[in-house]
Amino acid sequence: MAIHERSLVDPERVLRKERLVIDGVDVSGDWNLIILPRVINDYDLEFLDEVLQQPEGKTITQCYQCSYCTASCPVHNYWDERYNPRHFIYLARLGLIDELQKRADVMWRCVSCHKCTHRCPKGVLVEEVLKAILRVMAKRGIIEEYPSKKFDKFFLESVYEYGRIEDGELLFGWVEKQGYQVVKDPILKKPIPFVGGVPDWLKQLAAKPLKSMNIGFLVLNAKHMLFHPRTKNWNRFKQVLRKVMEEEGVFTH
């Protein structure tokens, strides 16, 4: 199915003359907008097969390009119109690897709201399919490790270590990994919240809810940041988890 959205047409293929008269008729401006034809013969049909082999990619062939996913996507509508789930699926099914690579800088921006999946009339698990596409691209080495993948890895390492996550430590540990100077206590080397080079957006985001939080809740969170609680008998379960992760090929230690 053809893509007709103007935002998806490469600018160099759009031609419009400021002044154009044809057979005595002035067609200047929008009337003479021409989209130059595009010929593509470099398809990689094995790419779709590799996506289908991923557990998350099984439903990609059910997509019939209705665009419900893109129309309901908060990233596309409010943040970046280049993030277009329908178009990513379209490109993957045709095996247009070069076109996918051009959009690799935005493809990881899914916020996992699942609106696309809930509204898809064909039952496509859109978010899962996009992850499968990214996984195949990463496996082929044609994209760099994207930020959300790095966060997933950081999250997994925290769960693996303690059997649970501590929100504050996870948040400020991630802030530190982004290159900000986070101040740590001298004994346990744990990050001290909001001390150091904390991004302004985080200060603004946290300021309002912090004012209305119960003091006891804040103290409990501060305590957990310094003395991270661990799930009971976690060391025993950790061995089982490690074996499973090794078998699945996701263990990175």
Q: Quote the CA–CA distance of 67 and 72 in Å, as a whole number.
A: 9
Residue 52 has pLDDT above 60, yes or no: yes
Residue 106 has pLDDT above 60, yes or no: yes
Sequence-ordered list of residues with C-beta below 8 angstroms from that of 185, at least 6 positions apart, any chain: 192, 226
Q: Quote the CA–CA distance of 167 and 190 in Å, as a whole number.
A: 13
**Lowest mean pLDDT, pick from 2-11, 37-46, 50-59, 140-149:** 2-11
In sequence order, the β-bridge partners of residue 163 are: none
What is the set of domains in the chain, with CATH numbers? 6-35 (no CATH), 45-140 (1.10.1060.10), 164-238 (no CATH)
pTM: 0.65
User: Burial level of 225, CB count in 10 A (0-12/13-18/19+)?
Assistant: buried
Dihedral over Cα of 184, 185, 189, 191: its sign:
negative
Average pLDDT, the chain: 84
Calculate mean pLDDT across residues 162-183: 82
Residue 93 has pLDDT above 80, yes or no: yes
Looking at residue 136, its pLDDT comes to 93
Q: How confident is the model at residue 200 (pLDDT cuts 50, 70, 90)?
A: confident
Q: How many helices (H) and strands (E) does the chain have?
A: 13, 6
Looking at residue 47, its pLDDT comes to 95
Q: Quote the CA–CA distance of 241 and 234 in Å, as a whole number.
A: 10
Phi first, then psi, for residue 25 (nearest 5°) are -105, 125
pLDDT in tens, 9-47: 888 888 888 888 888 888 888 778 888 887 877 889 899
pLDDT in tens, 180-195: 888 887 777 777 777 7
50 versus 77: the higher-pLDDT residue is 50
Contact at 8 Å (CB) between 168 and 225? yes
